[in-house]
Amino acid sequence: MFAAATKNLLQDVDRGGFLVPVPGPNDRIVLLSLVIKRRCVWFWQKPKYLPTDFSFNDVLAGDTPISPVVTETDFLKYSGMFSDTAKGKAEANFANANVVLKGRDASRLQSSFGCLKREELDLQKLLRDSKGRVLDMSHDLIQQTKEKQREVFGLVKVRIVTTQPCSVVEEVQQMGHLGGLLSVCGPKSTKVSLKENGSLTTDSNVTLEIPPHTPIAYGLTELEVKADGRFELCLMSNTDGGFEVDGPASKHLVGASPQPTPDPCLKQELEKLDAHFQRLSALQASTRCSLLRSLSAAMEDQEAVGLLENVLSQRCLGESPALEDVQVEAHRRSIQALLDLVEPHGGEGKMEDSALFALYLIVSALDELTDSCLAVLSSCCSPSVLQALDLLAQCVAEGGGLSLKGAGLAPLTGEIYEKTERLFSGSRVLLKRVGDTVEAEFQQQPGHRPLVLCIAIRGLAALANTL
């Protein structure tokens, strides 16, 4: 809830991506704090930021701490409201049951941060004070971060904080209708039947009160750390931090961000990932069904997707994620259930050839989607709709158009088509109908959003294949 509010704020006021949203009100973010920036596996992923309990002074060698000079300025006054409505209907006919489910979910997130203040370090003074200083390379935090190879240090140089008591309000309304007869027979002929139509309405209204001086965003300057403890602040936006290590021929930096791929071809990038989609399609139908059902449930909560992505990332990098660190019991159980489903299907010695790595690819793409896109996609996870969306994803990658009268696109009518338009529009792809044909057109500066959406759709469709 807090994380969604801070993320929405930065999407509105920081399109350049300089600031990082604070994920929780209890995160200790102060100027000169050390934050670990984790470089991700896929070039289209945004880096992850892990706040630590340590400051720059904690890892400096010597007994003289640096006293920063801070300037404070008014940032802006902010109030935002974000709403989403999803409707759906499903029918199922079984030997002993005929079930009709209808539902409508409406949610609204209102953020009233009020007047915000910007706190910023005087970098000129910091450079003077840190000249000739070195880091204590024996410090546990430095040792553990250096070993990860994908992680670098960032120094908090800017904070955006609240100046008055404020609030984040989340309102959710769920309405459902169940009709028909449902019979479940157990091993001892125990029978449970529901014969009458029923309806269910649930409402929740949660208000999070935020005190003054709560950080909601921050900016970093990365550190380039030499093997002997000397360091440099990366003052330019196009320079990256990292740790210097001894190589066979020369010294290089580990943890530095990869060079961005210049204008990747969407079709070619998807073709490179075909083996992962095929690996998911090759799983047993029962396994794929369970995976799709679990992912659909996780997609209803952005936080759950982020937690799952983090755990899968650690597993795929050979680390042992601590599931006990996942605070919500329901999230912990769902993550463990997903791991139990895919970990028995390992590759031939390479993590990249495993179903676990293929699942990591899909979840990483889901984690990159905007909240609104994720909400829409989570309501479109029936096999027939996913197969239709997969055809559209191929159309986006290859260009051209598709006939809406084709058998594969038959589910894309009425509300489903409206959702499809919203889904692709949220990823900078405009769907245009010309008669009975739909064509895709990229909006200005789409970035990696179309690719990320196509990866998510193709992966989910692979799990839904022949279900």
In the chain, what are the domain boundaries?
Answer: 2-84+102-169+207-254, 266-464
**Burial (CB count within 10 angstroms: exposed 0-12, middle 13-18, buried 19+), residue 134:** middle
What confidence tens digit (pLDDT) does each residue in 230-243 have?
A: 999 998 877 788 88
Give the mean model confidence (pLDDT) for residues 107-135.
83
3-class DSSP state for residue 301? coil
Higher per-residue pLDDT: 362 or 23: 362
Bridge partners (DSSP) listed for residue 37: 49, 152
User: What span, in angstroms and rounded, lies between the C-alpha atoms of 185 and 361?
Assistant: 39
pLDDT band at 115 (very low <50, low <70, confident <90, very high): confident
User: What span, in angstroms and rounded, lies between the C-alpha atoms of 443 and 141?
Assistant: 44
Mean pLDDT of the chain: 78
The reported pLDDT for the residue numbered 156 is 95
What confidence tens digit (pLDDT) does each residue in 166-186 have?
A: 777 665 544 444 443 332 233
Closest CA to 363 of 48, 51, 47, 45: 45
- Please determine, for residue 157, whether its predicted confidence score (pLDDT) is greater than 90: yes
The reported pLDDT for the residue numbered 239 is 76
Bridge partners (DSSP) listed for residue 107: 84, 172
- Please determine, for residue 47, whether its predicted confidence score (pLDDT) is greater than 60: yes
What confidence tens digit (pLDDT) does each residue in 62-79 have?
A: 888 999 899 998 887 765
What confidence tens digit (pLDDT) does each residue in 359-391 have?
A: 999 999 999 998 888 989 998 889 999 999 999
User: What span, in angstroms and rounded, lies between the C-alpha atoms of 252 and 277?
Assistant: 35
- The answer to which of 53-57, 196-200, 212-216, 343-347 has the lowest mean pLDDT is 196-200
Most confident range (mean pLDDT) of 6-15, 249-258, 290-299 is 290-299
Q: For the chain, state the CA radius of gyration.
A: 25
Closest CA to 108 of 43, 62, 158, 173: 173
Phi/psi-derived region of residue 322, left when phi > 0, alpha when psi is between -120 and 50, beta in every other case: beta
Closest CA to 302 of 8, 37, 51: 8
pLDDT band at 436 (very low <50, low <70, confident <90, very high): confident
Give the mean model confidence (pLDDT) for residues 288-314.
87
- Please determine, for residue 104, whether its predicted confidence score (pLDDT) is greater than 50: no
Give the mean model confidence (pLDDT) for residues 270-283.
92
Bridge partners (DSSP) listed for residue 93: 98
User: What span, in angstroms and rounded, lies between the C-alpha atoms of 301 and 84?
Assistant: 13
User: What span, in angstroms and rounded, lies between the C-alpha atoms of 407 and 102?
Assistant: 25
DSSP class of residue 348 equals: S
- Please determine, for residue 133, whether its predicted confidence score (pLDDT) is greater than 90: yes
User: What span, in angstroms and rounded, lies between the C-alpha atoms of 145 and 152?
Assistant: 7
The reported pLDDT for the residue numbered 110 is 57
